[in-house]
Amino acid sequence: MNDGSYDSGPVTFPVLIGGRWQPARNHQTFQAYNPATGQKLPEIYPVSDWEDLEKALAESQRVQLEVASAPPEKIACFLNTYADLLENNQEAITTMAHLETALPLKSRLRSTEFPRMINQLGQAAAAVEERSWCQATIDTRHNLRSKYGPLGGTVVIFSPNNFPLAFNSVAGSDLASAVATGNPVICKAHPGHPGTTRLMAEVLLEALSQSGLPLSTVQLLYHFSNEDGFRLVSHPAVAAVAFTGSRAAGLKLKAAAEGAGKLFYGELSSLNPVFFLPGILKEKGEAVALEFFSSCSLGCGQFCTKPGLIVLVNDEAGRKFLWKLQQIFNQPLSGYLLSPAVLENLKKAVDKLKAAGATLLAGGNQIPNCGFQFQTTLFAITGEQFLNDPETFQQEVFGTLALAVVAEDVEQMLKIAGSLEGNLTASIYSSSSEQDEEIYRRLEPILRFKAGRLLNDKMPTGVAVSPAMHHGGPFPATGHPGFTSVGIPAAFLRFAARHCYDNVGEDRLPQELRAKNPTGRMWRLVDGVWTQSDF
């Protein structure tokens, strides 16, 4: 599929527009890195100009009504077929992902992330077939009926760098949710793993063909300028944007999209604070220190749910815990950062914390001549320092870096909790002692409004693909605390509009709103009662 080469020079891979692979119009290119060596990989990918984006938008507009009216069975067929074809190509896809990210091949990509991606697609297909996700609501007395349906425009998905499979723009939960709800999609690959994205997009195109959905339902561009990105998300053909990435970039896209009246779902930043109450540190301080380090260092600290902030009280148990944590962080850690940009941001974060008066307890330096590697790093500050400058000490940074905030007492711990920004998660570790229970009762109501997911005696890095999971949170964790990017069918509702029918005849209604239950299993709210029966 190397028909995207230019007149001279090395082959440049084509973009996927209008159901076919075609050369990008722009001659500007980029290459991904191998993080384990720090060297660029040989494959060359295009940076699209506005002409490519405009063509993709026109194609999405052309097929929008056909995608919106596609039967649920056809959409489910696509999702299931796509999952099957991905499984048939698992080795090539995961091998490429390993090369571009240096994430462990067996323990991470093949045994964890790839199955998660397949599971998400399967869950989405099942929810589409069953149809309860649309929340059909029927008022027979007033002949009013409503349900969720397509937005009537294009969904644009920006892929993050830390999950090359399960959050990839062409195969992750955002893609599954947007197509499941009947919307065409334009995907932007992350420049850190374009080859992985290309391999999956090749499979996706075959799944579209086999299912009978329009081939332009999903299109792929590898990269484009910031200015063209702002122009894209504010275009009249676009209905919604899904973005996972840095706060700085996300806020600029958010302003452009929302300024044009577009929905913007952004996962922007999160420190995922962990509060260790005094009793638990007395009982098993060493054990929870090891547990914290394991979570903080998972994936080299490049999870959006990495716990990066610890809050504890300055008593004997707290001091012993912090000393033990310092010893653990001073141990060497294998693994690589995803890109030179991640490495550079980590260096800047260390310098910023030092300048703000934080005490360096462990690490703090790049590991030379080893690809993109950095020492495991631990800082500490007092509760007073945090409260005097909470903005400086609440900056998300990828890498195995944590900041311990040592409160003078419980009252200061509660003040620290109250000064936190919004997060994806917040964790409380406590014992069964009366003292910890009393503190918990005061702390929990504060943290409940600071995080989307509240954990007890558990680290936050695991995100189960469950209907009950909420992967979202108050700003700046995400742009809207009421929506999740993980958990089906709840994730669907980001890309759905409420469609109401008033005094519309039975034969003109969508099947989900007619007297007969279209699947016999679909739950509907009929005259205030949830039922699977006809009426």
- Would you name the residues annotated as active-site residues? 267, 304
Q: How many CB atoms lie within 10 A of CB 154?
A: 28
Q: What is the spatial distance between Cα 84 and Cα 315, in angstroms, rounded to a whole number? A: 55
In the three-class reduction of DSSP (H, G, I as helix; E, B as strand; rest coil), residue 146 is classed as strand
Listed residue (518, 517, 513) closest to 533, CA to CA: 517
Listed residue (232, 189, 175, 200) closest to 56, CA to CA: 232
Burial class (CB in 10 A: 0-12, 13-18, 19+), 181: buried
Q: What is the spatial distance between Cα 67 and Cα 180, in angstroms, rounded to a whole number? A: 10
Q: Which residues of 339-348 are buried (b: 16+ CB within 10 A; e: fewer)?
A: bebbbebbbe
Q: What is the spatial distance between Cα 25 and Cα 14, in angstroms, rounded to a whole number? A: 10
Q: What is the spatial distance between Cα 456 and Cα 443, in angstroms, rounded to a whole number? A: 12
Number of helices and strands in the chain (H, E): 14, 23
Pairing between β-strand 274-276 and β-strand 423-429 as defined by DSSP bridges: parallel
Q: How many CB atoms lie within 10 A of CB 464?
A: 11
Residue pointed to by tokens 């919604």 = 240
Listed residue (44, 41, 39) closest to 26, CA to CA: 44
- Residues with Cβ within 8 Å of residue 520, at least 6 apart in sequence: 532
* 108's tokens: 């991470």
